[in-house]
Each structure stands twice: as C-alpha cells, then as structure tokens.
C-alpha cells in the first residue's frame, strides 16, 4: 500500500495500492504513520512522493463511494474521510521538510489534492491532472479549492474546477500547477536529481524559507471549514447523489 525508503536526507514514499492508489481510511492511517516515522529522523529534509502504479492517485475509492451513497449515514462517513484527508494534506503542507510529488500518471480529484499539498510538483508531460468533482455534483473538498486558488489564482482555479477540466502535464506546467514537466521516460531520474539537489541545502534554511513563504498566504477566512460545510450539503443533495450513482453504475470497479 505504502512503503518508505530512506537514503540519507531523502525519504521516498511509494504508493502501491493497486490499481489506482485510491483513498481509504487504511491508506490515510499508513500515510500518517509514515510521516510520524520520518519526523523521528531529524536528518531527513526531503520527502519524495511517487507511485509504482500507472496512475499517481485517482482519488476516491469507487467501491467505498458506492457503499456510502447507498446508506443513510453514508454521506457523514464520506465526510469524515474527507476531513481526514484535509488534516493529512495540511500535515504534509506544513511539515518542516520539502515535499516533492513525482506525478507519472493520472492525478485526479483527491490525487491532485495530495500533490497540491506538496511543495514541489514534477509531472510527466503525458500525465493527466484535474479536479473533476463538479461533474458529479460535488467539489474538491480536501483542500483543492483553497490550494489551487492560492497557487495559480482564482481565474485559473475557477476555469479548472468549475469546468471540470483535465490537463496534461505540459499544460499544467504552463498554468503553474506543476513546476516542471518532462517526458515520462525521464521523470524518475529528473525527480531523483531534484531531490538530491534540495537535500544538499541546509535543512534549517529550507524549513525556514518554506515557513516564510507559507505565511504570505495565510487566509483571513477558514476555507477548509467552508469546504467541509459545502461538501456536507452536496453529499446530501439529491441531484448530486444521482450523478454519483450514475457514475458508479458506469464504473463497476
């Protein structure tokens, strides 16, 4: 599901929950445990996040969604998963280490939200990235609305989220969603080189610079709480539930 390999100051987390690294309670718990393990190693200054699947992370587990949307208390169960994802992504975002997302395949929904929580993103030019939840009558509630707007402005965020637009890696680089895009066959080596370069910097300076950059964008309004509030309404919205059910019926995986 998740594995951790440490090579000096670089900790590599590999996602391997076949076939799509879909989010589950177990996956979140494993992530939390690995982050705690990394925190116990003060020499680690860089986290390299990657997937050994064709997909980086496709977001929601369809079987879990199907179960939730077929039971009366299902929306609240789904909402608690989203809350846990929010907390996990904030933990990644605020960790005193530099995180790099190596996006070799599709990063959709909660998968892109995970990547957005990382400090740096490097994608294959062929990768697919997007937050298409609105198409199902939902929204990217695990930080997607907040981070994408902060990253590339309200205009681009509205274009991508409201239009449920999916980009390739090259387009994502042009819009500033990822910092680099390379052909897939070069991606692993390029990411390793980037991790090695960052790890050569003083850890304290990296952490301090990251903290100062983050302070510039502290919101006056709690956008994460707003996401949860709005997501609760959508989970209980009949039209949204119908759209999700139709999607799940078309995708029996």
Q: Which residues are catalytic?
A: 113, 133
3-class secondary-structure state, position 14: strand
Q: Could you tell me if residue 108 is left (phi over 0), alpha (psi between -120 and 50 degrees) or otherwise beta?
A: beta
Q: Which of 31, 21, 24, 22 is nearest to 51 (CA)?
A: 21
Q: What DSSP element (H or E) covers 75?
A: helix 74-94
Q: Could you tell me if residue 101 is left (phi over 0), alpha (psi between -120 and 50 degrees) or otherwise beta?
A: beta
Long-range contacts of 200-209 (CB under 8 A, 24+ apart): 201/45, 203/9, 203/43, 203/45, 203/96, 203/97, 206/45, 206/97, 206/98, 207/45, 207/96, 207/97
3-class secondary-structure state, position 203: helix
The length of the chain, given as a count of residues:
253
């Amino acid at each position: 599901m998740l594995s951790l390999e440490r090579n000096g100051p670089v900790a590599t987390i590999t996602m391997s929950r076949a076939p799509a690294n879909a989010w589950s309670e177990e996956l979140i718990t494993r992530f939390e445990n690995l982050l705690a393990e990394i925190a116990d190693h003060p020499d680690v200054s860089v986290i390299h996040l990657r997937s050994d699947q064709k997909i980086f992370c496709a977001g929601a587990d369809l079987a879990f969604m199907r179960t939730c949307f077929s039971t009366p208390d299902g929306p609240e169960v789904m909402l608690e998963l989203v809350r846990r994802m929010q907390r996990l992504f904030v933990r990644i975002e605020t960790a005193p280490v530099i995180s790099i997302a190596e996006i070799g395949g599709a990063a959709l929904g909660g998968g892109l939200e995970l990547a957005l929580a990382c400090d740096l993103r490097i994608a294959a030019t062929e990768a697919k990235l997007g937050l298409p939840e609105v198409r199902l009558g939902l929204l990217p509630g695990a930080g997607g609305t907040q981070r994408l707007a902060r990253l590339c402005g309200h205009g681009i965020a509205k274009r991508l989220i409201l239009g449920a637009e999916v980009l390739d890696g090259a387009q994502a680089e042009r819009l500033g969603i990822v910092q680099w895009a390379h052909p897939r066959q070069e991606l692993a080596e390029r990411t390793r080189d980037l991790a090695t370069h960052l790890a050569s910097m003083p850890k304290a300076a990296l952490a301090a610079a990251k903290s100062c950059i983050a302070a510039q964008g502290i919101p006056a309004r709690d956008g994460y709480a707003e996401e949860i509030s709005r997501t609760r309404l959508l989970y209980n919205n009949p039209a949204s539930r119908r759209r999700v059910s139709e999607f799940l019926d078309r995708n029996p995986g």
